[in-house]
Every structure is written in C-alpha cells, then in structure tokens.
C-alpha cells in the first residue's frame, strides 16, 4: 500500500532565534565616548582660562610702608625738680631768658605772617607750668579759684588719656589768643600745665594747624619721671639712655640735699656701680675724682637739664647734656658705645 502523500504541506518549524550584539564591545564604546567628551570639555575650559588670564592686569606685590616715629629725632627736656619730661621738634628751642623749674617756654624758631601780605609776625610757643595743689582741690576748683563767678559757671573741660596718663583739656580759661590748656596730674595731686595758643580757630593763620598738630605730638611724649633706681636700658636709643641716667642721678641727689637742708632723714643715692649704663672703666675713672661732681661737672645740682639728639656712627654715639643753673647753660659731652645691643656711657667730658 502506497503511502498517502500530502501536497504542499505547511511546515510547522520552530521560530529562528534573534541575534544580539555582544555586551562587552558596547560598554567599551560607551567609555570611549564619555572620555572623549570629558577631554574636549577640559581642553575647552583650559583655553577659556588662558584667554581670561591674558586679559587680566598683571599682579604687583605691594610692600608695606614702614612705620616711623615722627618724634625720633626730637630733643628732650627734663625737669628734675618736678620729675617730668617732654620732647620737642628740632626747629623749636627753650627760651632760657625766663626759664625756672616752675615755668618754661619752648618756642618755634620761625615766625610767620598771619596771612599773605601781613607784616606783623606770628610766633608759636608751648608753655609748661607747675601748678601746686596744696589744698587738694578738685581740678575744676583749682584752675577756676581766681576766676569771677560767671567764668566759673561756664567752665568746661574734657578728660582724656595721653601717653597712658590722665589729662584734662580746656579752652575755657581767659585768653585773647585762643589758647588751649592741658593739665597732667602727678602722683602728688599737683599738676603740670602745657598750653598752646591757636590765635583764631574760625579763620586759621598760616601754619596754625600744622603747629597745633605738633603741639599734640609733643603732648604724646609727655611723661613723669622718678628718682627710682636705674632700670635695664636694653635696646634704648642713646639719647634716651643718657636722658634717663641723668634724670635719675639729678633727681636722687636733689632729693638728698633737699632733705639734708630740712633736717629730714636722708638716704644716700646709689653708688656709680649701681648704674648698669656706665662702663666699668668709666666708673673707676669717675670714682677717682675728688673735687666737683664728675657727672654734673659742678658742685651744685642744676635746676633742669636738656639732652641734645645723639649723633650715631655705627656702634658709637655722642651727645651733649646741657645743665641749667638759672639762665646759665653748662654743656657736658657724653660718649656712648653699643655692646650686646646695649648703649653704654663710655665717657663724660666737662667742657671748658
């Protein structure tokens, strides 16, 4: 029997599976694309930064301006009776014609006209006055005690700190020259008055303001001194070394002789070996002098002293100490040497 044959049969075959690309090559291509994009962005950014930097102004290094002391080369006045000192500009000088321990005038050496074309010269000066407060009055009652009642009622003043000292400033005292007074109370409740005349505040004269500024700079150097034992002078300028030594020496000897004259108990001043600013060989030389005081070049204590600005050359310096006996000026030459960052007094010469 022959088999049955079915014409054009529809084959019932399983479907052919779909082909997919391998996963590893695709990941590799993605990494390449991302890296290329990031590299392009980086290069574009670098180009933009270089272009911006090229348009920026060149940076310059600003060096700080050194701060200098405008009073460094000023002269020093020391009052060795009332124990205070003040410095003043080199263009000013002490008026020795009326100088006393209680009163002193420091004058500007130059005079000015009030305004262009004026003939009458204007002088500027600073007065220093010792004001005794024997009755322990308040500041206001002390300075107004001799004023009429209407001026007492209108008296005003301000309290401030100057060089770490309490000071009272006023313009309420009678004056036709626009004067200003600054009072420094000392530890004994007495006062040192420092005053300057402005002339005209509403219409300032020529150089009036600049000299008023100098007055305030002078005030900033005011200080009280003492007759205490000498202290370490490390790193002090030669002018200050000499001024502090002579102030301590004169103050101590003045107190000793004042107490002696009053019959009070007296304490001798320290020996020269107690002053560390004196070189040892100078101490030996001065101790051998048996006549006049070799420090003061005199037998008496001066009313005041003034130390000129020292002239320095390397590790040596020289200055002149001017001791005053009334209006008489007795100059003393003082030499110094610098050792281990200390200025030491190496020689004292009495000028003939």
* pLDDT value, residue 6: 44
**What's the CA gap between 147 and 141, in Å, rounded?**
10
On whether both 216 and 80 belong to a single domain, the answer is yes
Percent with pLDDT over 90 in the chain: 31
On whether both 270 and 301 belong to a single domain, the answer is yes
In a domain, 13, yes or no: no
The residue-averaged pLDDT of 161-169 equals 94
**What's the CA gap between 242 and 76, in Å, rounded?**
10
On whether both 218 and 247 belong to a single domain, the answer is no
In a domain, 26, yes or no: no
Q: What is the CA radius of gyration of the chain?
A: 42
Percent with pLDDT over 70 in the chain: 74
On whether both 336 and 281 belong to a single domain, the answer is yes
With beta carbons less than 8 A apart as the criterion, state whether 226 and 83 touch: yes
* pLDDT value, residue 55: 60
pLDDT digits over 207-266, tens only?
A: 888 889 999 999 999 999 875 333 333 346 888 899 889 988 988 888 888 888 877 766
In a domain, 56, yes or no: no
* pLDDT value, residue 260: 82
On whether both 164 and 196 belong to a single domain, the answer is yes
H or E stretch including 114? none
On whether both 264 and 315 belong to a single domain, the answer is yes
Instruction: Count the domains in the chain.
Output: 2
The residue-averaged pLDDT of 289-305 equals 86
On whether both 137 and 273 belong to a single domain, the answer is no
* pLDDT value, residue 117: 59
Q: What residue has token string 């060795």?
A: 80
pLDDT at 19 over 60: no
In a domain, 10, yes or no: no
On whether both 194 and 90 belong to a single domain, the answer is yes
Beta-carbon contacts of residue 146 (< 8 Å; ≥ 6 apart): none
On whether both 88 and 149 belong to a single domain, the answer is yes
Nearest to residue 74, comparing CAs of 88, 91, 56, 59?
Answer: 88
* pLDDT value, residue 7: 47
On whether both 204 and 244 belong to a single domain, the answer is no
With beta carbons less than 8 A apart as the criterion, state whether 250 and 321 touch: no
Highest-confidence segment of 29-38, 225-234, 323-332? 323-332
Band of pLDDT at residue 9, cut at 50, 70 and 90: very low
The residue-averaged pLDDT of 43-68 equals 60
Band of pLDDT at residue 8, cut at 50, 70 and 90: very low
The residue-averaged pLDDT of 331-352 equals 89
In a domain, 107, yes or no: yes
The residue-averaged pLDDT of 327-350 equals 88
Band of pLDDT at residue 67, cut at 50, 70 and 90: low
The residue-averaged pLDDT of 88-96 equals 86
In a domain, 82, yes or no: yes
In a domain, 189, yes or no: yes
On whether both 255 and 195 belong to a single domain, the answer is no
With beta carbons less than 8 A apart as the criterion, state whether 88 and 75 touch: yes
pLDDT at 340 over 50: yes
pLDDT at 63 over 80: no
**What's the CA gap between 247 and 245, in Å, rounded?**
5
CA atoms within 13 A on the CB side of 165: 21
Distance of CA 307 to the CA centre of its chain: 19
- Check residues 194 and 110 and name the one with the higher pLDDT: 194
Rounded to 5°, angle at Cα 232 from 229 and 234? 155
Report helix, strand or coil for 136.
coil
The residue-averaged pLDDT of 42-46 equals 62
* pLDDT value, residue 71: 82
* pLDDT value, residue 217: 94
Beta-carbon contacts of residue 277 (< 8 Å; ≥ 6 apart): 230, 233, 241, 245, 342, 343, 344, 345
In a domain, 28, yes or no: no
**What's the CA gap between 338 and 91, in Å, rounded?**
28
Cross-strand pairs, 88: 75
- Check residues 96 and 62 and name the one with the higher pLDDT: 96
Q: Which domain holds residue 273?
A: 238-350
Task: Write the burial class of residue 85 (CB in 10 Å: 0-12 exposed, 13-18 middle, 19+ buried).
Answer: buried
**What's the CA gap between 318 and 126, in Å, rounded?**
28
- Check residues 61 and 314 and name the one with the higher pLDDT: 314
* pLDDT value, residue 3: 46
- Check residues 101 and 168 and name the one with the higher pLDDT: 168
Distances from the Cα of 278 to the Cαs of 57, 106, 157, 255, 344, in angstroms? 59, 31, 45, 22, 6
Q: What is the mean pLDDT of the chain?
A: 79
How is residue 98 annotated by DSSP? G
Q: What is the CATH number of the domain that holds 215?
A: 2.60.120.1690
pLDDT at 166 over 90: yes
pLDDT at 105 over 50: yes
Beta-carbon contacts of residue 259 (< 8 Å; ≥ 6 apart): 265, 266, 267
pLDDT at 56 over 80: no
**What's the CA gap between 222 and 117, in Å, rounded?**
37
* pLDDT value, residue 41: 62
The residue-averaged pLDDT of 139-144 equals 94
């Amino acid at each position: 029997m022959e088999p049955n044959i079915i014409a054009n049969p529809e084959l019932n075959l399983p479907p052919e599976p779909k082909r997919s690309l391998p996963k590893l090559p695709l990941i590799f291509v993605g990494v390449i694309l991302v890296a290329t994009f990031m590299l392009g962005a980086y290069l574009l950014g670098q180009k933009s930064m270089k272009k911006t930097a090229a348009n920026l102004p060149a940076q310059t290094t600003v060096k700080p301006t050194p701060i200098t002391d405008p009073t460094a080369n000023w002269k020093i006045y020391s009052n060795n009776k009332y124990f205070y000192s003040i410095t003043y500009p080199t263009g000013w000088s002490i008026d020795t014609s009326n100088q006393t321990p209680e009163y002193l005038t420091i004058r500007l050496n130059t005079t000015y006209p009030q305004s262009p074309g004026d003939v009458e010269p204007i002088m500027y000066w600073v007065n220093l006055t010792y004001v005794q407060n024997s009755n322990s009055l308040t500041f206001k009652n002390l300075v107004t005690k001799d004023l009429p009642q209407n001026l007492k009622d209108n008296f005003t003043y301000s309290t401030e700190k100057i060089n770490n000292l309490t000071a009272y400033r006023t313009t309420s005292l009678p004056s036709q020259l626009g004067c200003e007074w600054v009072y420094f109370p000392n530890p004994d409740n007495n006062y040192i008055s420092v005053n300057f005349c402005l002339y005209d505040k509403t219409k300032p004269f020529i150089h009036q303001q600049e000299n008023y500024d100098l007055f305030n700079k002078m005030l900033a150097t005011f200080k009280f001194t003492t007759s205490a034992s000498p202290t370490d002078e490390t790193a002090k300028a030669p002018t200050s070394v000499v001024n502090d030594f002579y102030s301590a020496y004169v103050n101590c000897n003045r107190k000793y002789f004042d107490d002696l004259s009053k019959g009070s108990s007296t304490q001798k001043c320290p020996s020269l070996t107690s002053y560390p600013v004196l070189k040892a060989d100078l101490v030996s030389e001065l101790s051998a002098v048996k006549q006049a005081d070799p420090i003061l070049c005199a037998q008496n204590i001066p009313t005041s002293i003034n130390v000129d600005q020292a002239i320095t050359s390397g590790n040596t310096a020289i200055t002149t100490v001017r001791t005053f006996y009334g209006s008489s000026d007795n100059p003393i030459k003082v030499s110094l040497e610098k050792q281990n960052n200390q200025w030491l007094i190496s020689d004292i010469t009495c000028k003939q």
